[in-house]
Amino acid sequence: MKTNNAMFNAYSRYYDLLYRDKDYVGEADYIQRLLARHGIVEGNLLEFGSGTGKHGRLLAKRGFQVHGIERSAEMVAQAIQGEGFTCQQDDVCSVQMGRSFDAVLSLFHVVSYQISNSNIQAVFARAAEHLSQGGLFVFDFWYSPAVYAQRPVVRVKRMADDALEITRIAEPILYPNDNRVDVNYTIFVKDLTSGAVQSLSETHPMRHFSLPEIDMLAQENGFMRIATEEFLTGKLASECTWGVCVTLKRI
């Protein structure tokens, strides 16, 4: 990443601004309905990749006790913890909470950030370790049929608040033999008071999965797949479904 320390430490703010248009409320409602469909209307949730805590806080307002695991210290520092929501800095591949939860959530394609076989196996194993029999592991991911049918394209996103104007350019490179897309981000941040512009760049390698892969990972870690659908809409997964949500049950 080409950036200075101040820019890196403030990245969590850019993250929230870049995704200010994301429907967090709608997504929390969707997760609440999905959990209720499988018999969980309250209880303790463990969230893998909790970011700055937006999903967690919204689910806490809906009656759940949510604990988040987030690798970025900057995002944990920005997260507002309070009644029903707590979080800690840790690695989802190795975290050991020493207790069970009613469900483990991993949203916003955290599973697709697990590029290596060892990491994705570790995430499934950690989820299983934190669930009792009948507990749920709910996660979304990039869906291989859609990636190959639609193919990733260059995208530009612009967002602003009273202080900053951000332009993000996403340039993807598809590696079909690795089930991976490297998304090369270039971000320009303009200070609206001084007019100064800073830039940073980073690459996000994203792994996409087919359902047979998910089923293999599930079986190896004591799960069975009980639901598959398009994230948020609940529609049937298809070549048009970039983001698929799967619900696994601990057996």
Please write the tens of the pLDDT for every residue from 35-48: 999 999 999 999 99
What pLDDT, on the 0 to 100 scale, is given for residue 8?
A: 34
What pLDDT, on the 0 to 100 scale, is given for residue 14?
A: 84
The residue that leads in pLDDT, 6 or 52, is: 52
pLDDT average, residue stretch 81-99:
97
What pLDDT, on the 0 to 100 scale, is given for residue 233?
A: 97
What pLDDT, on the 0 to 100 scale, is given for residue 45?
A: 99
Strands 164-175 and 155-160 come out as antiparallel
pLDDT average, residue stretch 114-119:
98
What pLDDT, on the 0 to 100 scale, is given for residue 12?
A: 62
Residue 150 pLDDT class (50, 70, 90 cuts): very high
pLDDT average, residue stretch 104-114:
98
Alpha-carbon gap, residue 59 to 40, rounded angstroms: 12
What pLDDT, on the 0 to 100 scale, is given for residue 4?
A: 35
The residue that leads in pLDDT, 9 or 99, is: 99
* Contact in structure between 229 and 134 (CB atoms under 8 Å): no
What pLDDT, on the 0 to 100 scale, is given for residue 13?
A: 64
CA distances from 28 to 34, 55, 56, 69, 232 (A): 10, 6, 8, 17, 9
Question: Any residues with CB less than 8 A from the CB of 200 and at least 6 apart, and which?
Answer: 1, 2, 3, 7, 8, 11, 186, 187, 189
pLDDT average, residue stretch 125-152:
98
Alpha-carbon gap, residue 104 to 95, rounded angstroms: 13
What pLDDT, on the 0 to 100 scale, is given for residue 148?
A: 98
pLDDT average, residue stretch 67-86:
94
pLDDT one-digit tens code per residue, 202-240: 899 999 999 999 999 999 999 999 999 999 999 999 999
Mean confidence (pLDDT) of the chain? 94
Instruction: Identify residue 167 by its one-letter amino acid code.
Output: T
Residues of the chain with pLDDT > 70, as a percent, come to: 95
Residue 22 has pLDDT above 90, yes or no: yes
pLDDT average, residue stretch 155-163:
96
Domains in the chain with CATH codes: 5-143+208-250 (3.40.50.150), 146-206 (2.20.25.110)
What pLDDT, on the 0 to 100 scale, is given for residue 11?
A: 53
pLDDT average, residue stretch 153-173:
96
